[in-house]
Chains A and B, each alone.
Chain A
Amino acid sequence: MAHVGTHSAIGPDGVVTSPRLRNGDRFPDLQITAVGGRTITLPADLAGSYVAVLFYRGSWCPYCNAQLAAFSRARELLAATDIAVVALSVDDEATSRALVDKLRIGFPIGYGVNADDIAATTGAYVAEGSSYLQSTGFVLDRDGRILVAVYSSGAIGRLLPDDVVGLVKYVAAHEP
């Protein structure tokens, strides 16, 4: 589950609104359980590397499958650029494990997250009825700060591994 921080606000219509995260913000603390049973605390557990955080809609979503498969295929390039990947969705453990096996995913896949909790801390779009998170991506620097955030309100518009590698290479080359 997510730890709801101070990002949420009640809008004039009574709906909880969550400001989008901005470049330079520290990524909010999220505890997720990954396929395999490990608990991962973002961003602390991956500090020291660049990180691509991917929220995907679910294993039923073909665009999400394509994205996760692309990150899986790019594992050597991502490792050579010191980029860790972690993805999460509302899917249950069995569904998530099946996706890991199908796509031969070697990075952590968080399962069973609460879409509203995640949305409250990160500003991600949530599908109607809070049934799932829309595609959302963040690239974090070595200290867990946001280099770029990509918020989709629907099926398309998401991080791709080549773009992430290119961005991180540029940032790394300009590190002080």
Chain B
Amino acid sequence: MLELIIFSSLNGLLYGLLLFLLASGLTLIFSMMGVLNFAHASFYMLGAYFGYQISRYVGYWPGLLLAPLLVGGIGALVERFGLRTVHKHGHVAELLFTFGLAFMIEELVQMVWGKIPVDYRVPELLNFSAFTLFSTTYPAFRIFMLLMSVAVFIALLLLLTRTRVGLIIRAALSHPHMVGSLGHNVPLVFMMVFGVGCGLAALAGVIAGPALVTQPAMAASLGPILFVVVVVGGLGSLAGAFIASLGIGLIQTFAVALNISVADVVGHLGITLTRDSIGGDLWVATVAQVAPIIPYLLLVLVLIFRPKGLMGDRDT
């Protein structure tokens, strides 16, 4: 049991931090430009695939720098020539544009790299087990992922709270017109934030690609979870996104590890429920099976009962 708790906590923390790498960019873009970027997870996928492609020629480490830069550049171009064109048609058009973009990126990735997962390997340098606890080993690469995510988090925090650029970004979050009136180039700020957000997503892709599976479905499976994080955390709140990321990461990881169903619990009370009783499959479904539902349930509940999210300052 202790083993389960320790490893699930570590993995949950790791998953949560990865989510935050993605969610931080998404929530900045969402609260600043009002665009819910459907393609955000697609940039994460592009990062993983670019990293894989680079690692085939020059090894893993250059990809860690190059892939996010490349994807960030693509993101900035998308904002400049795509989103800005669509902007005049309103928020629905912007949302639909990113939706179509996500659709196209998935198709392109399938075309270029195939439908089956690619063999994106953990670098040799980190291909050993960091420690062994209760006869289960923990790979060093996961520790690296953990440290990387924490480092990026701290860097982002410092950038936003301690620099002039961060000051302008935070001002543009709440008062874009005022910032523009003060002579700052708000469209440029938008473009940079969009690019950096996409770059961060790509960095998460390069970090997570070798440990998780790099495949064309990785964007579609992660994308909706990101929205959950952004909404639950609250619009415009990086701290909220951080808490929500960790919370959802931990909930998901622990739920997957639990093999208990309603039938098991009431079984202790002397009531026997099987697949054939009224309600059928509901009672015998284990927590692990229900795990994929939990975030969406949370999303729906939060949007209805607390639209501001955990730490947000306005409604979604």
Whether A associates with B in a native complex is no
Chain A interface (Cβ < 8 Å from any Cβ of B)? none
